[in-house]
Amino acid sequence: MKQTPPASTPETSIVTVPAWKCSEKQQSLILELAGKAGLDDTALNELSARRFNKVVAMLNRMEASGLIDELMNRSGSSSKRSASGRNNYTRRPATVYAGNSNPY
């Protein structure tokens, strides 16, 4: 007796790529830096799996940031963060904020 698949099961399956969990900007930067470091998709996923136990598309924003730092080190790109890990923003002198005036 031959069984037929249920009507709801398509004959051909379409492989869908899961949406990335991190931001689009992080995704673009990860792919760019991976290319500079000479990592293909397989190597990038292996690196992500070693560090975070998940494929790169499943990384949240914080994990993606950590991967970006590692890829910057590997590719020789300079990080825009200071040694303390904080962004290098210019601080305004306190006098700018004195009084009731809005500096913006």
> Which pLDDT value is given to residue 1?
57
Strand partners, 99: none
**CA atoms of 16 and 39, how far apart (whole Å):** 22
Q: What is the pLDDT of residues 5-15, one digit of tens each?
A: 555 555 566 65
> Which pLDDT value is given to residue 82?
45
Q: What is the pLDDT of residues 78-96, one digit of tens each?
A: 655 544 444 444 545 555 5
For the chain, how far is it from start to end, CA to CA, in angstroms? 78
Q: pTM for this structure?
A: 0.58
Q: Are 37 and 74 in contact (CB under 8 A)?
A: yes
